[in-house]
Amino acid sequence: MSGRVLVASSNLGKLREYRELAQDSGIPLDLIPHFEEITEFEETAPTFAENGAGKAIYYSRYASEMVVADDSGLVVPALGGAPGVYSARYAGPHATAAERVAKLLGEMAGKEGEERRARFVCVAAVARAGRVLAVVSDFVEGVLTKEAQGNAGFGYDPIFMVPELGHTFGESSAEEKNNYSHRGRAFRKMLGFLRESQL
């Protein structure tokens, strides 16, 4: 099968990351046309895997091409795993990234050392015509800083410090983030499947 692969998202930052990761694969990626006109998929499942696969299945019914979707988020053991699957809605459904970061930093106030450990998790799925074809996952371990550092990336990137890098994703180049991020790691696994499907 040849042709483009569609990304089930309206997040241009996510599409940019995916395109950078796929640039040497020869696989063209685009957002689903008129995505904003499709009734939004409700991510109500308790796990990243169920939400990611459910999203891929749902949106693949609105396209003839293969559709990639993911559910990803920040898991903080000291907060019982929060914000977890609610990462994008942690400060309310219409909160800005800055408001979500501020809420999380408030929850982390007074926590030190190991209590500030966190991990970004990503589960990506590809589906076509309402059927899941593959599901992959990966993660990256890090430490939450006490204030935002850097303006790169999006979401919680400015407060997620990666020990191997020595700085936050908010201070990372696109290449650094793609090499180390949860989404980069999961999508590289997905690319293996997509390459075979494109033959």
Catalytic residues: 71
Q: Is the bond into 83 cis (omega within 30 degrees of 0)?
A: yes
Pairing of strands 117-128, 66-75: antiparallel
| Tokens 């988020």 found at | 73
User: What is the C-alpha to C-alpha distance for residues 97 and 7, in angstroms, rounded to an integer?
Assistant: 21
Residue 70, token pair as written in the block? 């993911």
User: What is the C-alpha to C-alpha distance for residues 55 and 46, in angstroms, rounded to an integer?
Assistant: 13
What are the strands, taking DSSP E only, across the chain? 5-7, 29-31, 66-75, 117-128, 131-144, 160-162, 167-168
